[in-house]
Copies of this chain bind each other. A is one copy, B any other.
Amino acid sequence: MQDLLSPEKGDQAALLDRIRNLVLSGEFPPGANLPEAYLAQEFDVSRTPVREALKQLQHEGLVEIRPKVGSFVREPTRREIIELFQLKESLEGLAASLLARRGEVRELGILRRNLDDSEAAAQSRDKEAYARLVHEFHWAIVRGSDNFKLVEHYERLMNQLAYQRLVLRTVEHPGRIAASTQEHRAVLKMIEHKDPFGAESAMRNHVFASSREALATDSTSESKST
């Protein structure tokens, strides 16, 4: 990770990323207030571009703006997390299907290498590295779909899931790592076989299984069951 509060001035799009990272990294935990004046001073800009960025983040679902009160980091409810995982399953399934249809592309090499690295990380109990590799595996498939609109929606989705917080917890389960790697292999195999239906199915199974784990370990907000 790069320094998150570096005062170097950047672009206007960079400001949005900076503030988003403040939220995603947990620097500002759920419920925290994000005062415009503070952020403006911190990033050495005026309140106007900060306001624009905060509005974007509200639109992305990361921030809640209460009129005349302030901007607060939004805590996704358990129900929302379930909903987002259902979407994740669907979108990643589509991505795997599209990738399988594409044939031999550069992304396959990335995936193969990723799997080898993942197993190495699992063997050496390097949870940090493993979590990162899992993340990269999923992203490689989505990017490999060669559908940029899908990538856009997926990015939005993952931001809303605040994935960085969830993945690490999931990895705590020792049994899950082995199963997850197995499922990744199954997905890759289907893609290599150019089997769109098989790839989609394998991917969806995998996402479903891992979401079960994530939700089991999840301790988010209300216990209001669905």
Contacts and interface: CB of A to CB of B under 8 A. Distances in A.
Interface residues of A, number: 27
A91 interface: yes
Contacts of A44: none
A86 interface: yes
A87 interface: yes
A140 interface: no
Interface string A93-132: 1100010000000000000000000000000000000000
Contact of A150 (B48, B87, B98): B87
Q: By DSSP majority rule, is chain A's interface helix, strand, loop, or mixed? A: helix
Contacts of A41: none
A147 B91 CA distance: 15
A87 B160 contact: no
A27 interface: no
Interface in A48-97: 48, 51-52, 55-56, 59, 61, 80, 83-84, 86-87, 89-91, 93-94
A133 B89 CA distance: 29
Interface in A123-162: 147-150, 152-153, 156-157, 160
Given A61-B152, A86-B149, 19 more contacts: A52-B52, A52-B55, A56-B59, A59-B59, A80-B148, A84-B149, A86-B94, A86-B147, A87-B91, A87-B147, A87-B149, A87-B150, A89-B94, A90-B90, A90-B91, A90-B94, A149-B160, A153-B156, A153-B157
